[in-house]
Structure 1
Amino acid sequence: MFRRFASYIIGAALGVAALSSWAQAPESLLVRLDFSPWGMHGAMHLAQEKGWFTDVGLKVEIQDGTGTINTLQLLAAGKVDVGQVSVGTMAVAKENGLDLISIVGFARTGDLAVMLDEKAGVTSPKDLVGKKIVCFTASPWAPFIQPFLQANGLKKGEVEVVMVAPSAMVSTYASENADGFMSQAPFGQPMVKKTRPANALLLADSGISFPSYGLVSTPSMIESKKEAIKKLVQVQLRAWNYIYDGNIEEAVKAILAQRPNAKLDPDVLRGQLIAYEAFFSSPTQGKAPIGQQFDADWQAAINSMEQTGLIKAGHKPSDYYTNELLKN
């Protein structure tokens, strides 16, 4: 009798332990980044390195990407849960039928630029006539190339824009096989600083406004994994605030530790993180809390994209973003 009772107690205890373990099992999320490792991935890798995802009950897989557009397509197809991408490009993708929404904004000021050799003396888009500029098809720049040229009165053929492989863009410029390249200024300028320093012509200076990097998901994914995605957002806010509170070096080390085989230059990563801090400000609200998005910023972006024909008229800011997941 005693043995049967003891067996019952032990079995019950094991059952409770199993149920407890199951109840506390980490929630899995698949996050896809925009590109191969670079500075803007710092918060994601820092959180992974420090165990901050694990601390809130998340198991996060971080995938490198092959371009913002590709990541957006995978998001819309339900292949990944969250993407870190250019949310301005997300708005264009949404216009083309992808059901997406921005859930947090990091670099809220537009960062796309044409970068050219400092020695070339280029000071305005008009100086691009006769120049060869490289880009790549899945770049956040892709939807804005023609609107940029048109906004500056540049006719077709006056500027040679050549699409190359993403991995070849910077090297093509650095080896002087192109006059310039189209990318994000805080990404590109640190990349070429040691080989061929570049000046930047910001797209925003041509009157085309849109937000830069943030996190994007789909309404259906948010509905099914809301609490897990909310935890991810909260951890990323913590990480970015930590980085820009004097801890950029830790973010650099985290990227190197998380991607040891990527042959990354810590000086470039550091330079990118330093350069991006200014772009974290809101164009209309200034140094607002990291992550928060604003109607005024999005309305300016909507106006620009309507004027350039990238989206149809009639959209409102709430079509593109939500601050719901920022709330504690």
Structure 2
Amino acid sequence: MNPSSPLPRTPRRAVRLALTATAVGALFAVTACSSDSGSGSRDGDAKGLTEVSLALDWTPNTNHTGIYVAQQLGWFEDAGIDLKILPYGSTSPETLLANHKADFGISYQEGLTAARSAGQDITSVYAVTQKTNVTIAVSADREDITSPKDLDGKTYAGFGAAYEKPLLRSVIKNAGGTGDFTSVTLNTSAYAALYAGKADFAMPMPTWEGLEAKLSGKPLKNFELTDYGFPEIYSTLIASSDRYLKANGATAKKFLGAVQRGYAYAVENPSKAADLLIEANKSVLTNTELVHQSEKLLADSYYRAADGSLGTQSADRWKAFADFEYASGLLSDADGKKLTAAPDTSSWFTDDYLPEKS
């Protein structure tokens, strides 16, 4: 997209949010109508590489930079891996993983929480972003809105995910408001409505839609969810299945070693990493200024945890978000019945396959 274009393109998070409401049902449909592909270690080519598949959650973007850096610089091949990147399609990565149609996939904490609550075979193995990569945003020129409490009585342009309203009510109440607002489901038109003044607020990713809006001459004012008592979440993560991990533990560690190496490179060399991402996806990433600004922001504020680590995950963070979803009545079991107790999230993630783990 040209930086002078008045509106951003279709946001990837909008689609992910909309898919959350239907992804679990799709899991059962795939199970019922398709046979197991036998996902696991496979011969990659004559070099004796092991084929590993990774399903994308959207078109290539800066959340995926470390993966493309590792691929462009030959680090997967150095690890003995022939990486097959599966383009984003109509079937979510969560569905592909749970039904063993992909070895790894790009996911997010909200989607994995719904899938695991329903008993699906999916486990988070690498946190790409360590800071919540979604905010509540209003147009920067809205002087009447200086806090989420000012959103009472306003119109939210949303995507139809079940947790949006409870999340927003929680933040608004914690800011001192009543949590009463109007919500309209606009999906991919949400940001256009915000820019046109037909809606008062939305929830963009500051590392993409937020920057895109700025470059388009429509800057946003953001309210961080965690500033108002909402738990920190992993907005982008890499997941696999327990079955794959148990059968291919050594390969999983080699794969994540290359991934971590790619994101470490992106932290230290954001401009070069952005160039490598663009080089691998020239037809998609045409707004090079957006890519470079996004990569710099992610490298500065999102990829590394507070202790400087890459990819690591916190039990407290997984529990806090699941507790919120349970308390809001948003989690259902494999039969579609609401959970009657908060789920145990201790097995929903693992750091055991990160390279520093023995």
Give distance in 1, aligned partners of 2:130 and 2:150: 28
Give distance in 1, aligned partners of 2:260 and 2:276: 16
Tell me the secondary structure at the aligned position of residue 102 of structure 1: strand
Shift of 1:126: 2.8
Unaligned runs of 5+ in 2: 1-43, 332-338
Give distance in 1, aligned partners of 2:275 and 2:168: 39
**Higher Cα Rg: structure 1 or 2?**
1
Q: How does 1:232-243 map to 2 (within 5 A)?
A: 232-243=255-266
CA contact (8 A) 1:190 1:272 kept: yes
Shift of 1:187: 2.6
Tell me the secondary structure at the aligned position of residue 30 of structure 1: strand
- Report the aligned-residue RMSD: 2.9
Taking only the aligned residue pairs, the percentage that are identical comes to: 21
Q: Deviations over 1:188-207 (max 9, x none)?
A: 21121122111112233342
Runs of 4+ aligned structure 1 residues displaced above 6 Å come to: 154-157
Q: How does 1:254-273 map to 2 (within 5 A)?
A: 254-273=276-295
Shift of 1:298: 2.8
Tell me the secondary structure at the aligned position of residue 60 of structure 2: coil
Q: Deviations over 1:219-249 (max 9, x none)?
A: 112123332222111111111111111x111
Tell me the secondary structure at the aligned position of residue 248 of structure 2: helix
Q: Deviations over 1:56-101 (max 9, x none)?
A: 111112234369x922122212222111221343122211332211
> In structure 2, what is the equivalent of residue 117 of structure 1?
139
CA contact (8 A) 1:45 1:258 kept: yes
Shift of 1:145: 0.4
> In structure 2, what is the equivalent of residue 94 of structure 1?
116
**Distance change >3 Å, CA 307–CA 271, structure 1 → 2:** farther
Q: How does 1:30-109 map to 2 (within 5 A)?
A: 30-65=53-88, 70-109=92-131
Tell me the secondary structure at the aligned position of residue 318 of structure 1: coil
- Larger helix proportion of the pair: 1
CA contact (8 A) 1:132 1:180 kept: yes
Tell me whether 197-206 or 317-326 shows the greater mean CA deviation. Answer: 197-206
Instruction: Kindly provide the amino acid, as one letter, of the partner of residue 327 in structure 2.
Output: Q
Shift of 1:300: 3.2
**Distance change >3 Å, CA 70–CA 183, structure 1 → 2:** farther
Q: Deviations over 1:252-283 (max 9, x none)?
A: 1122111111143122112222222323354x
> In structure 2, what is the equivalent of residue 295 of structure 1?
315
> In structure 1, what is the equivalent of residue 242 of structure 2?
219
> In structure 1, what is the equivalent of residue 24 of structure 2?
none
Shift of 1:55: 1.4
Unaligned runs of 5+ in 1: 1-20
Instruction: State yes or no: 1:248 paired with 2:267.
Output: no
Instruction: Kindly provide the amino acid, as one letter, of the partner of residue 64 in structure 2.
Output: H
**Distance change >3 Å, CA 47–CA 174, structure 1 → 2:** farther
Instruction: Pick the aligned partner of 1:148 from 138, 156, 167.
Output: 167
Instruction: Kindly provide the amino acid, as one letter, of the partner of residue 328 in structure 2.
Output: T
Give distance in 1, aligned partners of 2:196 and 2:241: 40
Give distance in 1, aligned partners of 2:317 and 2:136: 22
Tell me the secondary structure at the aligned position of residue 115 of structure 1: strand
Give distance in 1, aligned partners of 2:329 and 2:228: 15
Instruction: State yes or no: 1:25 paired with 2:44.
Output: no
Q: How does 1:188-207 map to 2 (within 5 A)?
A: 188-195=209-216, 196-207=218-229
Q: Deviations over 1:102-130 (max 9, x none)?
A: 11123122222122210013222232245
Q: How does 1:298-309 map to 2 (within 5 A)?
A: 298-309=318-329
CA contact (8 A) 1:36 1:66 kept: no
Give distance in 2, aligned partners of 1:314 and 1:132: 31
